[in-house]
Structure 1
Amino acid sequence: MTNETEQQKKLSLDRGLFFINYKSADDSVSPPRVIVAPAEGHERRMEIILHPDATEPILYSPNSGLVVRINTPATLQVQVRPTRPGGSQSAIVRVEQIQAGRIPDAASPGNGVGLHVATEGLKVLGHVAGRGDIVVGPDAWIAGPAAPSRVEGVALEWPDKPASIDIRYAVQFANGQTGSGKMVPLGTYAGTRGRALPLTGVVLEMSGTDELKFVAEAGFLNAPTLRAVGKRVVLSGPTSREPLVGIRIGIERSAPAEVVATSAIPRKSAGSARVRVFRSQQRQAGAAR
């Protein structure tokens, strides 16, 4: 079989356990095969666990799957091959990270209802020039577009935070004041009060979960509103010196983990095939073309 009739993508995966699920194919009569293998040089970083009746890591039809155990961060290679000359190479493969077993509780990230209740308990404090300390819930503005004003410090509180999750954050000043850029733990005030030192940047970091991410917006003087999403968020103006005049911070669930490998091969020319792989681990979604 020539390279013209083989499409492949490589996925960078963190340490963990992943279920590779061949979900569907455009051609139900002669669906393409999905071949899963470590990238060259990464063979010792992972283990592919097959069904007892399988002899090789090949998924021949939809509704089949296998498990990959990643011992250290590694690259997994997914190939899509037609089963007949000129056949379809369109397939959808879902990659789901399998979480370690634990007893569910009201604040567990594995419990959708409990997770929603827990994130609703997030509180954000901001010290605003001329107004003092302001405390809001998630996704609410401190200062901001309707009432822009210098923000001189912030603190995050989350009483119902799941124990496995760690959150740290830092603030930045234009003049490099003491404490600028220093990461502090949840509940710690970062910034100044009454010194007319506006923040010029905010950094948010979250670890210990693949199911949550920050969603934050910030307004900087004479600059468009900035929006950032992810487990690590950096908010700053165009030159990193503009004063922060509004901020709002929320936490929400990440999109489901999914990898979609698809290509449409014209009947006359398999060489013009196009393949797209969308990789979305639970912490984020991205696209490689």
Structure 2
Amino acid sequence: MPQPADINDAIAVRTVLKALKPGLYVIRYIAAQGATEATPLGVGQAPLYPSGQLSITTPDGGTEGALQRPGDYLVLNVTGGNVVVAISKYAPKPLLDTAGVHWRIEPLARASQQAPAPRLETAEAFSLTGHIERRGDVTVGNGEWLGNPEGRARLEGVQIDWPTRPATVDISGWCQVGEHRLNGQAGDYLGTRRRAAPIANIGFQLQGAETENYRLTGEAAYSDGTRLPLDGTRRPAAGAHLVALRLHLQHRVREAHREQPAPPQRSSWLDPEVTHITTDDTQEA
């Protein structure tokens, strides 16, 4: 009885390796020559960069993980790190050196999904009113000094006026007067009236569901010459009192975004970081 033929005696395999960075690619079978039938190609991940993962999508009617003839293609999705793709030519041993196959790997261009960064605009209808020693009540606009940061006259109370404030955001504030800590929101008066009581420390912050749409900055000036941010991370020296305050409220304006097509990308073959490890007549066109 004749023994069955060993396929290893009849078919030879030659492999080309390509290193790819994370992204989407398409590999296409371009042309075949030197054989009466097209020489099939197998496509898979070589075990060289274990951190990356390769998934292959086969179109309807195609062979999973294989290119059988010119015009066939596969979509490669590289995630988690670089991978090495093995492209293997399968040919009868006598034709291994004469059956040429040309293929190409190209990155898939994607439309830009990144929205432009929002710009910051000074919020309108935002003001500060405060009671200044020997001057009485004074009102200033957004970003302006309430009181004299170079002087020593006490700023004894502060109120934020924001009539256009949305319901989804607010400004909370606090101040230290003697042994007492006073708290409030926009529209509340922080401090004292007609008591000549100094404010020893003060702070403000945004709160609410849409704080990411606003930016609040500012500083407080004290009688010892120090100027401190309003986040409470630093305290004035003992005995110093508040003499001036400024708050700057801005809101983020997002431009309408239109998707723009990505610029044409060069073939990964031209990228020096995409390595062509071996060459033979199984090659990229």
TM-score band w.r.t. shorter chain: 0.3 to 0.5
Q: Give the TM-score normalised by structure 1.
A: 0.45
Q: Which has the higher contact order (CA 8 A, sep 6+)?
A: 2
**Which one has the largest radius of gyration?**
2
